[in-house]
Structure formats: structure tokens, C-alpha cells
Amino acid sequence: MKGVYKKKSQLKKAAAEMKITKKPVTHLPRYVRVDTDSVTLRDVHQYLEKTGKFELVRGPSAKNLPPKGYCIDEHVPALLVFNSKAAVHELDWVVSGKLILQDKSSCLVAPLLSPHPGSTVLDMCAAPGFKTQHVATLTHGLGKIVAVDKNTERYKALCQLKDKFELTTLTCHNLDVLKFPSSKDNNKLVNSVEYILLDPPCSGSGMAKNYDYDPNANTEGGRYSKLRNLQAKMLRSALTDYPAARRVTYSTCSISEEENESVIDEFLGDVPGGFSLVDLTPFYPGLSRGRSNYKCGSKCIRLSPETDGTNGFFIAMFERLNPPAFPAHITSGPTKGLKRTAEGATSTVSQKKKQRTELVVDSPDSPDDSPESPSDSENEMMTTANDNSGSEESVENGENVEESDEEESEEGDDDVGVAENGKPDAMSGDDDDEEEEELEN
């Protein structure tokens, strides 16, 4: 059987096959990402203050927030952290989309990709699209974002998200992303892709409110092997089929080494397409790293509820060593991503709305293609937010479990949101009759 599991009984069956046995950590902080294209951190602080339900606090860690307290996340621009029992889902700004419920783990990806405004970004397994939307805020509404998803229902959810957030630079495609580069109709688009976000179908074993994975389980020849083959095939496509690609992120909401470090190690040494694995340590200091028994481990991010206060999640990033020059239309203005500082700390970049009708035309080589640091005014905004508060959207991600074989890929989103009842949104509701709900982390 292929496709996303939509029913809890099917998820339980898959969990049993993967020997997922332990009860998960259930008291994670709640994360809220601010849609800075529609509101500022200051706006959000004032809004939360007026509700009388929340107050900005400084000092305690995210793991020890008081019931009404919230703070600004130390790693992700415009991400707010709330107490695990905070009823943030009841806020009308969450309903309207000004605030987005999204787990911190999946909010780390777009700032790493850090696409330049005016560039072309490919999200290979995009639905339901919250990471896609995050990318859109980082590009100031300039350039192109191409979002692909094979599953019809998830594709519909992606289109709904596009309409809700009025993402005019986003085009959605309902097809197999592995066949996307070979289509003659897509030649021009394929040749223009400069940044790729790959969040392939995975087991979802990292979902803290779902299940924990038994690391001693023997998965040889089983589901993990099938998923790994698909994941490696998709990563190889990202690194070889897009000649203008400069940066590729690979992420899963799985804690299985077979789906993570094992996949990345396959591409070390003679990396296809002239890419090199990037050391992510300077970007997110203090977060957990990959397994040390793999060559890639020290350069990757591997999050867990116990050590990082997030869902289980894995991130790696590749950069092309000698990328082609930027086209002349790419703006040299800063992205709202991350930059490695001299001290190794991460600079956060908040977003100011930019004029979207004009592109800054500069020489092809002028943009600095590294995740950027904030401007002085942006730093001032972050300082003000720390005093007055800003809020960022958090989604408690659950996971859609998707089956696929080596012959045909099933695209899915690894980071689907988790409903308030603690079930993955894709499975929330009645045990056996619930339709998939597309919240993405």
C-alpha cells in the first residue's frame, strides 16, 4: 500500500513493524512562528499583551517557562516559545495566519537555505507547505518558489496554503519530483533552480507526541531500507539534476540513523555535482549533532526532545564548491537567514517588508551567497522585541508516514503538525475514520 497513512490504526501497525515501543516525551514547549510579512514582532508582543493571557519573560530557559510566559527563541528569527500547556491554538491571529504553529525543529531549515531574493527555490516534497511559506518570507516575496508534491490530497492542501498566505511567487505542481527534471516542459525551470529544500518521505519516528523509535530494532530489508533508498534517490537528484543549484538542505523528522546519517555518508567523498557537506555547528551553536560513528555526524544537526526541547529531527546541508554566477536579476540585498559569526554564534535576522515591485539589478557575482547577518535596524527590532516581545509561530509537528518503493516515489512532508489532543494532525479525530489534516512544521 502506498500513500500517506490517514488513520491511526494504520499508523499503529506501521509503528509495530518498526518496533517503536517507548512512550514519547509529551511536555515540549510550544513554538509559534511570526509571519513577518504581515506583522512585526512588536505588533505580536502588543497583541499578546492585550489578550491578558501571555507575558514576555527573560531569564528562564524555554524548558522552564511559567504558564503565562513566553520568550524569543535563541536560534530562529521571529520564533516564540511558550509553555507546553499554553493554549496558543485559540488565538485568532493563529487562525488568520499571522502566527503559525510550527515546531522549532522544522523552523531551522529555511534560514539555513537562506535563498537570495529574486532567486528560484525548489521544495521537492512541499505539502502542506509551512516550510515553503517560511522560505517565501525570507525572499521578501521576490523570485520564484516551485513546490512539488505527488500526493493529490496533500497537493490540494499546498494550494490552499498558497491562497491563504497570498504567495504570488509560489507555483505548485502535483507530480513525482523524480520525474520533474526529465520533463521537456520543465527544462527552463530546472536549469534556473538555485536553492533546493528536500524534506523526503520518512518514518516520522522523531515525532515526540507520536512514538519513540527503538534504536535496537533490526530494520534490514524492511520499511526503513525502502525509505532510505527513496531518500537517497531524491538527494542524488537534488545534487545532480539541477545545474544551477547552489545549496541543498536535507531534513527528516526521523531519528533513524538509516534515514539520516547513513544517507548523507553515501554522498561524502566524491560528492555528485561538485557539492560539499557544510558544517552546521557555527549556525546553530548549542544544538545536538549527528551520530559520531558516521563521517558526517559532527557536521549535521540531530535534535531530540530530551536534549533540545523539540521533536526528533535531522538536518544536513550541501553547498556547491564552484557555483555558477548569479543571474543579473538577483538582488544583492540581504536575506533573512543566518550567518556564522566570528564567535561562532548565530545572527538572527528579522524581516522588514521590502518593496516587491522592483528588483535590485547588480553584477552577477555581487551577492554574498552565505546566510546573512541582520542589519542594524533589524538588530534593533530584535532588541525591542526582547523588551516588548515578539512572537513566532509554532507547530507541534506530527508525522505523516508514507510508504514507497525503489521503483516509484511517494512524496510527503515529514513535519506535519500535531493537534491539541496530542495526535498527529494527519491522524487526529476518530481513531479509524479521520481524514488527513495538513499542518506542516
Q: Residue 56 forms beta bridges with which residues?
A: 70
**What is the residue-averaged pLDDT of the chain?**
75
Residue type, 105: S
Residue 143 pLDDT > 80, yes or no?
yes
pLDDT band at 91 (very low <50, low <70, confident <90, very high): very high
Residue 367 pLDDT > 70, yes or no?
no
Does 149 show up as a binding residue in the annotation?
yes
Residue 304 pLDDT > 60, yes or no?
yes
Residue 21 pLDDT > 60, yes or no?
no
Region 12-38: what's the mean pLDDT?
Answer: 69
Q: Residue 147 forms beta bridges with which residues?
A: 123, 172
DSSP string for 354-385: --SS------TT-S--SPPPPPHHHHHHHHHH
Residue 95 pLDDT > 80, yes or no?
yes
Residue 267 pLDDT > 60, yes or no?
yes
Q: Does residue 370 sit within a domain?
A: no
Residue type, 160: Q
Region 199-221: what's the mean pLDDT?
Answer: 67
Percent of the chain with pLDDT over 90: 56
pLDDT band at 224 (very low <50, low <70, confident <90, very high): confident
Bond prior to 128 in cis (omega within 30° of 0): yes
Say what the alpha-carbon torsion angle 342, 347, 353, 357 is, to the nearest 10 degrees: 40
pLDDT band at 423 (very low <50, low <70, confident <90, very high): very low
Region 382-406: what's the mean pLDDT?
Answer: 38
pLDDT of residue 380: 38
> Rounded to the nearest 5°, which phi and psi values hold at 46?
-65, -40
Residue 368 near residue 390 (C-beta atoms within 8 A) = no
pLDDT of residue 413: 40
pLDDT of residue 390: 36
Residue 152 near residue 175 (C-beta atoms within 8 A) = no
pLDDT of residue 60: 58
Residue 132 near residue 156 (C-beta atoms within 8 A) = no
Number of compact structural domains in the chain = 1
Catalytic status, residue 202: no
pLDDT of residue 55: 94
Higher pLDDT, 3 or 273: 273
Percent of the chain with pLDDT over 70: 64
Residue 77 pLDDT > 70, yes or no?
yes
Q: Residue 302 forms beta bridges with which residues?
A: 314
DSSP string for 283-306: TSTTS-B--TTSTTGGGSEEE-HH
Query: Which secondary-structure segment (H or E) carries 25?
Result: none
Q: Out of 159, 253, 296, 300, pick the active-site residue.
A: 253
Residue type, 315: I
Region 389-415: what's the mean pLDDT?
Answer: 37
Q: Does residue 246 sit within a domain?
A: yes
Residues 6+ away with beta carbon under 8 Å from 59: none
Q: Does residue 360 sit within a domain?
A: no
How many other C-beta atoms lie within 10 A of the C-beta of residue 374?
22
Region 279-307: what's the mean pLDDT?
Answer: 96
Range in 278-292, 295-309, 315-329 the model is least confident about: 315-329
Residue 353 near residue 117 (C-beta atoms within 8 A) = no
CA-to-CA distance for 63 and 88, rounded, in angstroms? 17
CA-to-CA distance for 303 and 307, rounded, in angstroms? 7
| CATH code of residue 319 | 3.40.50.150
Q: Does residue 231 sit within a domain?
A: yes
pLDDT of residue 345: 37
Selection from 171, 153, 175, 211 nearest residue 16 by Cα:
211
Q: Does residue 192 sit within a domain?
A: yes
Distances (CA, A) of 164 to 41, 47, 102, 356: 21, 21, 16, 19
Q: Does residue 314 sit within a domain?
A: yes
Q: Does residue 358 sit within a domain?
A: no
Range of the domain at 272: 1-324+376-441
pTM of the model: 0.74
Q: Residue 120 forms beta bridges with which residues?
A: 144
Q: Does residue 343 sit within a domain?
A: no
Residues 6+ away with beta carbon under 8 Å from 152: 174
Looking up cell 505588533 gives 43
pLDDT of residue 331: 56
Region of 140 on the Ramachandran plot (φ > 0 left; ψ -120 to 50 alpha; else beta):
left
Q: What is the largest CA-CA distance in the chain?
A: 57
